Structure 1
Amino acid sequence: MAFPQGKAVAAAWAAPVALLALWQVACLSGLFPPQVLVPPSVVAQALADMAASGELQRHVGDSLYRLLVASPSARARAWSSARRWRCRGWSKPCCRRFS
C-alpha cells in the first residue's frame, strides 16, 4: 500500500485544519459563550496539563479497564439473566419451540 504524497497529504489535512480554525474563530469572536463551546486551544492546553500531571494516563487506564473487563462481564451476566428469565412462566411454550 502506497502512502499519499504531496497534494494528497495536503488535501487530507485541509478539512481538519479548516474545521479547527473555524472552531477557534467562532469561539474567539464571541459567537458561542465559553460555557457552550470551549476553544480548541483551551482543550489542547487542558490535554497537555492532564498528560503532564499523569491524570490523563489514569483516566485512559480506567476507561480501558471498563472496556476490556467490566463491559464483557456485564454483558455475560445480562445474557445469562435474560436466558433464565426467558424460559419461565408464560414464555415456556416458546422456549420449547425454539430450543
Structure 2
Amino acid sequence: MSAAFFCTKCGLCCKNLDKATAYAHLDRGDGTCVNFDSTSHNCRIYESRPLICRVDDFYEQNLSAHISKSEYIAANLEACANAQHAHKVDNSPTHQERF
C-alpha cells in the first residue's frame, strides 16, 4: 500500500506562503496564495496548479532521489499537524490525496 497524505482543507499551507521563499511568486502580499479562495478553502486553479503545489508530482520530479516517499509523506503530515496544532485547527480529514 502506498503512503497517503490526508488533506483537511484547513488552508494553512495556502495562507502561510511568506514562510518560504519558494512560494513568493504566489503570495498576494499578505502570505496568502493568489489562487486561494478564503470562503471555500479551495484552490481556484486546482486542476492546473503549479508543480510546487502538487505534492506527488513535486516529489517525483525533485525529491525521489533524495528521500523515500514514506519519509516525504511523514514529513508533510508532521508539518501539517504542527501548523494545525499551533493555529488550533481541527485536523479531521475531509479530503484525501494518494501518492
**TM-score, L = length of structure 1:** 0.23
More helix by share: 1
More strand by share: 2
**TM-score, L = length of structure 2:** 0.23
Asked which structure has the greater RCO (Cα within 8 Å, sep 6+), the reply is 2
Q: Which has the larger radius of gyration?
A: 1
